[in-house]
Amino acid sequence: MKQEHLDHISQIPGWRRSRRFQLIESTDQRDGYVELLAVHDFDKINGLGGAEHERAKSAPWRAKILQLIDSWDNKVFDFVHEFEASHYCEPPVVEN
């Protein structure tokens, strides 16, 4: 099932990558409670809202999973700056 959703998401024009995270420790101690985060990176000009995106949102897997979700949020962020390893410089050594 995990792969099915990523297969659909990766078909959206402008898709770059997807990353998934799971919160290791939570203050919510309910049995089976898990906090997850998925981050999908797209080019500035992309197919979000287009046919491929609608197909990914209408997949049977998504409908099944949404029934299990306690709360869900969706945010879109603009790309600001990419830090590359070549931009890194050693901090100056401070002697006492």
**Average pLDDT, 10 consecutive residues per value, the chain (96 residues):** 78 94 83 86 94 91 85 86 80 81
The model's pTM is: 0.71
The range of the structural domain enclosing residue 78 comes to 2-87
pLDDT of residue 61: 83
pLDDT of residue 1: 47
- Determine, yes or no, domain membership for 96: no
pLDDT of residue 85: 82
pLDDT of residue 3: 62
- Determine, yes or no, domain membership for 13: yes
Q: Considering its fold, how many domains does the chain have in total?
A: 1
Asked if residues 47 and 13 have their Cβ atoms less than 8 Å apart, the reply is: yes
- Determine, yes or no, domain membership for 92: no
- Determine, yes or no, domain membership for 66: yes
